[in-house]
Structure 1
């Protein structure tokens, strides 16, 4: 198993994965820094409101965020096959899809904003959440455009560009967060909504920066058509949507389960909601690293499909499983060891800390399942297998996790911990059955290479 080719693939995968992981971490660390500053400067009610708004906004955006990663394996496949016309078509269609998602998902978000009370939160949380939520949903538009462009760089094995831009954006977000929340010099003190305005400003700047990189870097300029005609690529856009939407649904079902868990936490208490937000923020950091490994795995699998090499395909997928298993095992141990210290970064309230500790311990345990299911989905995207995995994720999170979480939280003495135990069970189910689906799909070699 551990041949020279295996270690070469490990090296190649790590070189690709590392910038993607850093970029993924940069995206989630923006939310982490927002929550730390909000919790430190504004207290638990503001933290709960921001957590609710971000979770619901990300839930709506999830179908786009989860749909875009089908683009990079396709580009990698066409790049390996040296099919330049298909690369141009895929790039053009990715821009069309970003615009489609922006229009429809923003409309859904505004409709929810007008009926925000249906989430069943307290009057104070509703009052704080609504303006914050509106600013965040507007900021999703430049985010979608940025992610579409990012997939182009990743698919061409140039992830360092978006990595650099993301971390410059993170640095700017830290400065703007502090200034807009507390006021600084000529900048007025805005409070909670200052964090949302910071997110909006940074996302616009990141999109513009990546667009300029696309225009001026020779290594990617060849994927841009001489004249960008979105209507001309209508057929390719529809084909890409057929892959993107099921892939987005996979992500939506998982993120949706966690977002509904946020809402259920609010039914328990504001303290439970704040504790849950801290635990989910920490686990989201490690999860985004796992998705970075998953994205690199999907790109390497897509590259192998372009070369029509089943040995390379198996090798790429096996390496991605190995890398994520090692990483998530390490993070599990770190979270268990430094449980209280991690929570204390967010807030000093002893009640919140005592509520968050058992939740974070459960989050530590499901690290391995979470990482494996993320990589399995990535490998399946690499072979353009997205429909059956969407059903598996729906069952895992909406048939198993959420009903079980409600039962354990409100009909046993487990309370908030019951919701997290149910999430652990759903993630484990997804990990097992997505892996089984991938290795079953590999038996149909002809279908993989003709897709």
Structure 2
């Protein structure tokens, strides 16, 4: 045990230092949705809260392939940087921005199309009307969101994650401020109600994109990667490489996000009180999940760097340290969910005992799937560092769409377990994904081609 600690202590420290700013930045992103829901729930009530939650879930679903897929760029940047290939880093950055532009057009358009067909989800007339207008504004915000995600990959891949952290935290403050000013209309600001919350998200994301690009192009620490000679270099190959990895990698993220988004729809069929309760519980679970994705991103960067250095041992240690760090954190989250579920729910809503009771029971189930959620997302990040995206996509498709969603429906309606049945189905899918993705990573480590720096399939 002592030998293990001596060996892995530097690995834990490095993973932790890299993870913390990424975790804070990721937490800032999800806390924007939490902030929206806190203001909407407190100022407007349960029905607008359910509508905002549904629109947020489906909008993020539309962007999930882009958001999840673009994260492969950080691992590629880390690999090229470890090989001292400055020109490749520049091409990857520019290629990532082009892919972000393409994704914005595709997924923004799909989001608008979905908004105009909200009736397909079988929600009540009031929820449908509110959610449609909310989602149209969120659709416009996908463009700056994906530009920000693409730009931050350069900073993260070069191990400067504090840049995105500072910008995201600043945007979070702006989002809270604009929610307050625009929902009720304070001073010269118009009273926009629920749409004020959506507008706050749009303005915050615009700030994030502009601030990230401005910092990258003006900071001296990135100057070496923007030599004027690089401007004439074609990025066609990089765009193809990013798309080749980003599409299946993004689909992996999509399958999980889609599962939770469609779970919102299933819960909505059970009633507005269940929908509001589910939204509260899923917000809490999303906070811990997004923090685990920060550890996952650190794993991808460290594994990618080790591949660039042709170090099999480095790949193994980077993966193990990330797994153990995620397990430690998610264990603490599980204890909090199980022991303080009622208090956590009270942060969102106080005047609806029925919703509070349902939400508190869902948070307990959420406590049980914390470990599975953390392990599966870190396994995905470690595999992303190996540029291994195809088989993980199949694993997640099976775990979430073949197991989790059908089981959620059957438990909720056939066995009449209500909203808790939906969450038990989600727990089953996450656990299955965690097992198979972890096995996949450790098998891949033994098949690294250190000469070509690739994975033997």
Tell me the TM-score range normalised by the shorter chain: over 0.9
* Deviation by residue 1:87-136 (Cα, 9 ceiling, x = unmatched): 11211110111001001111111221222211111111011111111001
The answer to whether the Cα contact below 8 Å between 1:92 and 1:224 also exists between their aligned partners in 2 is: no
Does residue 134 in structure 1 map to residue 136 in structure 2?
yes
Counterpart of 1:366 in structure 2 is 369
* Deviation by residue 1:140-196 (Cα, 9 ceiling, x = unmatched): 110000000111100000000110011011111111111101111111211100000
Q: Which runs of 5+ in 2 are unaligned?
A: none
SS in 2 for 1:355: helix
The answer to whether the Cα contact below 8 Å between 1:92 and 1:230 also exists between their aligned partners in 2 is: no
The answer to whether the Cα contact below 8 Å between 1:139 and 1:200 also exists between their aligned partners in 2 is: yes
* 1:4 positional shift: 3.4
* 1:5 positional shift: 4.0
SS in 1 for 2:186: coil
* 1:2 positional shift: 2.2
* Deviation by residue 1:185-238 (Cα, 9 ceiling, x = unmatched): 111211100000000011101111111100111212333363786993122201
Q: Tell me how far apart the structure 1 counterparts of residues 230 and 194 of structure 2 sit (CA, whole Å).
A: 40
Counterpart pick for 1:388 among 383, 388, 391: 391
Range that drifts further, 4-13 or 412-421: 4-13
The answer to whether the Cα contact below 8 Å between 2:249 and 2:384 also exists between their aligned partners in 1 is: yes
* Deviation by residue 1:281-310 (Cα, 9 ceiling, x = unmatched): 000000000000010011011110111011
Q: Tell me how far apart the structure 1 counterparts of residues 155 and 191 of structure 2 sit (CA, whole Å).
A: 38
When the two structures are aligned, how many residues end up with a matched partner? 451
The answer to whether the Cα contact below 8 Å between 2:91 and 2:234 also exists between their aligned partners in 1 is: no
The answer to whether the Cα contact below 8 Å between 1:182 and 1:189 also exists between their aligned partners in 2 is: yes
* Deviation by residue 1:392-443 (Cα, 9 ceiling, x = unmatched): 0000000000011111111112011111000000000000000111111112
Counterpart pick for 1:83 among 78, 82, 85: 85
TM-score normalised per structure 2 = 0.96
Counterpart of 2:454 in structure 1 is 450
- How does 1:27-426 map onto structure 2 within 5 Å? 27-224=29-226, 226=228, 232-348=234-350, 349-426=352-429
Q: Tell me how far apart the structure 2 counterparts of residues 231 and 245 of structure 1 sit (CA, whole Å).
A: 24
Q: Tell me how far apart the structure 1 counterparts of residues 84 and 100 of structure 2 sit (CA, whole Å).
A: 25
Range that drifts further, 435-444 or 282-291: 435-444
Q: Structure 1 residues 49 and 231, CA, compared in 2 at 3 Å: closer, same or farther?
A: farther
The answer to whether the Cα contact below 8 Å between 1:96 and 1:230 also exists between their aligned partners in 2 is: no
Instruction: Calculate the aligned-residue CA RMSD, in Å.
Output: 1.4
Q: Structure 1 residues 227 and 186, CA, compared in 2 at 3 Å: closer, same or farther?
A: farther
Q: Tell me how far apart the structure 2 counterparts of residues 190 and 72 of structure 1 sit (CA, whole Å).
A: 38
Q: Tell me how far apart the structure 1 counterparts of residues 100 and 428 of structure 2 sit (CA, whole Å).
A: 33
Range that drifts further, 243-252 or 216-225: 216-225
Q: Which runs of 5+ in 1 are unaligned?
A: none
Counterpart of 1:427 in structure 2 is 430
Q: Structure 1 residues 228 and 148, CA, compared in 2 at 3 Å: closer, same or farther?
A: farther
The answer to whether the Cα contact below 8 Å between 1:77 and 1:304 also exists between their aligned partners in 2 is: yes
Does residue 437 in structure 1 map to residue 440 in structure 2?
yes
The answer to whether the Cα contact below 8 Å between 2:315 and 2:445 also exists between their aligned partners in 1 is: no
Q: Structure 1 residues 228 and 37, CA, compared in 2 at 3 Å: closer, same or farther?
A: farther
The answer to whether the Cα contact below 8 Å between 1:91 and 1:224 also exists between their aligned partners in 2 is: no
